[in-house]
Amino acid sequence: MGSQEQTTLVTQNQLFYGTFIYPKTLTELEYLYNTAVAVDQNGTIVAIKRDCDLSQATSTLLPRLGWAPNSVTIHSSSDSHNQFFFPGFIDTHLHAPQYPNVGIFGKSTLLDWLETYTFPLEASLSDPAKARTVYNRVIRKTLSHGTTCAAYYATKDVTTTNLLADLCLRAGQRALVGRVCMDQLSPDYYRDASAADSVAATRESIAYIQSIDPTGAIVRPVITPRFAPSCSAPLMADLGKLAAETGLPVQTHISENEGEIDLVRELFPAKKIGAKGDTYTHVYDTFGLLTDKTILAHGVHLSEEEVEIIKARGSKVSHCPCSNSALASGAARVRWLLERGVEVGLGTDMSGGYSPSVLEAARQAALVSRHVAMGCASVEKGSKGSKANKDGIDRERAKLTVEEVLYLATKGGAELVGMKGRVGGFEVGMEWDVQLIGLGRDVADGEYEGEEKEEEGNVDVFGWESWPDRVAKWVYNGDDRNTRKVWVKGRLVHERK
């Protein structure tokens, strides 16, 4: 397996016809009906024609593109099955090796969860056979939920980290794949021997991943310090230099849990590391880990001062609501981040998060934003109400709409993974990372008293709903059954029969 197999999978020219929906802005979805979108062999959108029927589309677009009719594959969305094309989801934070533990977390919170559930499982994935099973499954699973691009943490093991990259490339799922760096505090059985070892292993994995996909079209390496408590100051400093040297993206965790924040303050006093402040953000900033390609997961308890630094560096935040609720980490203030100009995407954070679905993350983002609206965000210990007002969060503004959570799941995520402007919409020049969503046939009088409707998923459309209402129904009750087909860069990578 390697670049040859993948790069030879160039597709035919394709013409997609029907209903297209995508986030035009944070607050607005664009609806295109009776529209044709032409996608070339490289998976790039080369022409769009609105308000036409299929024969008009073929008779005008194909000659203009110089495409012989018999060289073009045509895909139509089915109106009778409430189908529409929608941009693929981007999962900006998940741990591939933790996938077998989804849903298993008991009453734990971050630090005891790591010791009890997570480190033992991750360590066991140095077994290539087990890693192959788990990684294949997590890729198939996330593809089936419409995830066209994922920012993966693997483990500290180089061989199986590289295997994850191989498997993503073969499956055609875009991925950032990070070998996890961790040289302190974790158990003896699962820790890098030294900062130097950690950096050397990281370089080895980077070189491999770049060798199998030299252009980085599908898989790319990402520098991955697990989180500050797991990394010595020398290791973080070296990884910061590596980021500067290579220009590669960085991913890590920040400000997820109050116990973790206390630990970071204790481990990295500002004076000791030469930081300009004593926050979690200052630690990463001191070591050069906050770049405009840095994905910071969580950011639940960030202060105003920290957000200013993150914004100034151009780093981004991956919001992981399923995980934050499950591990009782807190309720992240997404509106507050957005209003301060920080770019935000969504992460499933498996297995702190219980679900492989970015749609579930979007749904939970909407619900958690309502808990923020109800005054649940941890702004500063002991003075929630007044601080919340100071932060300008009022009940209405904190709430995220259906449109907004779908933006975060697509275009928002694209900003985090370095694909801004390349995916997330139906515009000429963008790449075809797309899902075909189907909500099934309308419920009609006397029909569907039995079994068959269930096969089309959990969403029921009665036929009188507007398109925005149908989209809301999908967000709140949709699942992988509604994701009928998935393409990445024009290539069909998942299909439900």
Q: Which positions ≥6 away from 36 have C-beta within 8 Å?
A: 15, 16, 17, 47, 48, 49, 52, 54, 57, 58, 61
Closest CA to 154 of 214, 209, 94, 200: 94
151-159, 279-287, 325-333, 405-413 -> range binding a second copy (CB under 8 A)? 325-333
| Paired tokens of 306 | 């920290």
134 binds a second copy, rule: CB under 8 A: yes
Residue 492 binds to a second copy (criterion: CB under 8 A): no
Q: Which among 193-201, 248-256, 367-375, 412-420 is the span making contact with a second copy, rule CB under 8 A?
A: 367-375
Residue 169, interface with a second copy (CB under 8 A)? no
- DSSP assigned state of 443: P
Q: Does 222 bind a second copy (CB under 8 A)?
A: no
Dist. CA 62–CA 68, nearest whole Å: 7
Contact flag: residue 448 with a second copy (CB under 8 A):
yes
- Residue with Cβ nearer a second copy (100 or 216): 100
Taking CB under 8 A as the binding criterion, the range among 28-36, 59-67, 338-346, 471-479 that sits at the site for a second copy is 471-479
Q: Which of 9, 72, 376, 492 forms a contact with a second copy (CB under 8 A)?
A: 376
Q: Considering only residues 354, 426, 432, 487, which one is a binding residue for a second copy as defined by CB under 8 A?
A: 354
331 in contact with a second copy (CB under 8 A):
yes
Smallest gap from residue 129 Cβ to a second copy (A): 6
| End-to-end Cα separation, the chain, in angstroms | 27
Q: Which of residues 256-295 bind a second copy (CB under 8 A)?
A: none
180/152 Cα distance (integer angstroms): 10
Residue 159 sits in the site that holds a second copy (CB under 8 A): no
Note whether 5 binds a second copy by CB under 8 A: no
CB 149 within 8 A of CB 88: yes
| Residues binding a second copy: number (CB under 8 A) | 72
Residue 245 binds a second copy (CB under 8 A): no
Q: Is 384 in the site for a second copy (CB under 8 A)?
A: yes
Specify the residue, 194 or 477, whose C-beta has the smaller distance to a second copy: 477
399 binds a second copy (CB under 8 A): yes
Cβ 353 to a second copy shortest distance, Å: 9
Helix (H) or strand (E) holding 486: strand 483-488
Tell the smallest beta-carbon distance from residue 27 to a second copy (Å).
Answer: 12
Binding a second copy (rule: CB under 8 A), the pick from 118, 286, 378, 435 is: 378
314 or 375: whose CB is closer to a second copy? 375
Nearest to a second copy of 326, 342 (CB atom): 326
**Phi/psi of residue 9, nearest 5 degrees:** -80, 45
Q: Please select the residue that binds a second copy; options are 66, 70, 129, 266, rule is CB under 8 A.
A: 129
Compute the distance between CA of residue 398 and CA of residue 374 in angstroms, rounded to an integer.
9
Residue whose C-alpha is closest to residue 93's, from 346, 406, 303, 411:
346
Q: How far is the CB of 459 from a second copy (least distance, A)?
A: 8
Map the footprint of a second copy across residues 404-433, applying CB under 8 A. none
Among the residue ranges 155-163, 193-201, 225-233, 363-371, the one whose residues contact a second copy (CB under 8 A): 363-371
Residues 73-112 within binding reach of a second copy (CB under 8 A): 99-100, 102-107
Only segment of 13-21, 311-319, 428-436, 437-445 that touches a second copy (CB under 8 A): 437-445
Q: Which is nearer to a second copy, 66 or 385 (CB)?
A: 385
Q: Which two tokens stand for residue 258?
A: 């109050």
Using CB under 8 A as the binding rule, whether residue 387 contacts a second copy is answered as no
For the chain, count helices (H), then strands (E): 20, 18
Residue 299 binding a second copy, by CB under 8 A: no
Is residue 144 within the footprint of a second copy (CB under 8 A)? yes
Q: Give me the amino acid identity at 301.
A: H
Question: Beta strands of 24-58 (E only): which ranges?
Answer: 29-39, 45-49
The amino acid that residue 10 corresponds to is: V
Q: What is the DSSP string of 219-256?
A: EEE-BEE--GGGS-HHHHHHHHHHHHHH---EEEEES-
Identify which of 85, 37, 74 has the alpha carbon closest to the alpha carbon of residue 427: 37
CA atoms within 13 A on the CB side of 168: 32
Stretch that binds a second copy, among 43-51, 154-162, 179-187, 355-363 (CB under 8 A): 355-363
Give 146 or 225: the residue with its C-beta nearer to a second copy. 146
User: For a second copy, which stretch binds (CB under 8 A), given 7-15, 134-142, 278-286, 420-428?
Assistant: 134-142
The beta-carbon contacts of 417-424 under 8 Å, at least 24 apart in sequence, are: 417/90, 417/92, 417/149, 417/151, 417/174, 417/176, 417/249, 417/295, 417/345, 418/249, 418/293, 419/90, 419/149, 419/174, 423/87, 423/88, 423/90, 423/148, 423/149, 424/22, 424/23, 424/87, 424/90
Helix runs in 343-478, H state only: 358-373, 384-390, 395-398, 402-407, 413-416, 467-477
Does 173 sit near a second copy (CB under 8 A)?
no
